[in-house]
Structure 1
């Protein structure tokens, strides 16, 4: 069975590939990347008709490739999933769905992000699932681009500072983007730190295994 990963930045590719190697090595996956989408969102400040149209094209390509599941990898666009799901029978998952469902087991949830649109999308999901949840966000907007500029250490230091600013006020920390998951290995904290890519790979494996079990039961 096949999962198609739809990405809006190349910075998401390596983290999700590493997560699949570690947690779902038998899952077949392919990438669909439109690396201008994140820049487009930053320029526009909102999801535009053009962005929606390009995502529709990506979903159609995923269908044509024989996808059993479509997985977004860029958290800033997760709010589009309900719209996109209406266009296809292939299940589409948010990049943050698995990690946020885990985070909801805690009281106060801290979100660490390097793209300003990310905490808005994540907070909406959390509030929909549990209206009384307390969400605290720390953002270093634009720091994600340091990775593609070869300034990884500077990027990581900024993310670590965000973690330090938020850890005393929350019960769990969510590293909201795949591009910052690696920082989890660089910092010790008294509160759990959850990575989105790892949770996604495990969730995809479980979903595909369940789909295969259902298929075998019907035959």
Structure 2
């Protein structure tokens, strides 16, 4: 008999840069959990080429969730924010907690106030993120407004291995988000710019990895 079996959380990635930030968040907030990483970095490229979420890409997102369930997942967290509608379909098929990358962060932001800023580095994710935010805002009757800024050059810098430039660009972009009640860093990979952005804004800075781990722990543990 296996005793003291660890809770297994499967992390599904479409970009390799998301792995380290979420592993760090688990290490800090929920070290007892066992994390398993699944990476298909062709998903982000295929989405860029398709221009929008396709039926085939949706099927792949769902298949990854089913695979995760098959290897004993107690909970699943997707870390790429461009596949929201597909993840919703995966949620409906599984009987374990399945989290979209930013839902927990959105919930925290809406508790902070009604004027929310968002910094994104992956353009195709923005329509999905804005739609999710509006839906949650309507459900909670907060009347919150979201201002999104895309800084795609930051992701290009990260792909080139220049984390400092990535963080500098997001810090610069954050100067446009004045008077916000909270500023969100949309991509998991963008969370490494937390300290840089936090230096120049006078409101809470929220990152998706930490918010997601905290919510998943509440739902699974």
Q: TM-score, normalised by structure 1?
A: 0.90
Cα distance in structure 2, aligned partners of 1:129 and 1:52:
22
Gaps of 5+ in 2: 1-6
Deviation, structure 1 residue 13 = 0.1
SS in 1 for 2:93: coil
Q: Deviations over 1:10-37 (max 9, x none)?
A: 0100000000001111111101110111
Say whether residues 1:203 and 2:215 are aligned partners. yes
Gaps of 5+ in 1: 210-219
Deviation, structure 1 residue 89 = 1.8
SS in 2 for 1:174: strand
Partner in structure 1 of residue 63 of structure 2: 57
Q: Map residues 59-74 of structure 1 onto 2, 5 A cutoff.
A: 59-74=65-80
Residue 163 (structure 1) aligned to one of 174, 188, 193? 174
Partner in structure 2 of residue 154 of structure 1: 165
Say whether residues 1:181 and 2:191 are aligned partners. yes
Say whether residues 1:91 and 2:97 are aligned partners. yes
Partner in structure 2 of residue 43 of structure 1: 49
Partner in structure 1 of residue 155 of structure 2: 144
Q: Bigger CA drift: 94-103 or 118-127?
A: 118-127
Q: Deviations over 1:40-61 (max 9, x none)?
A: 1111110112211221221121
Partner in structure 1 of residue 88 of structure 2: 82
Deviation, structure 1 residue 39 = 1.0
SS in 1 for 2:202: coil
Cα distance in structure 1, aligned partners of 2:102 and 2:153:
19
Residue 118 (structure 1) aligned to one of 125, 137, 142? 125
Q: Aligned-pair RMSD on alpha carbons?
A: 1.4
Residue 20 (structure 1) aligned to one of 10, 20, 26? 26
Q: TM-score, normalised by structure 2?
A: 0.89
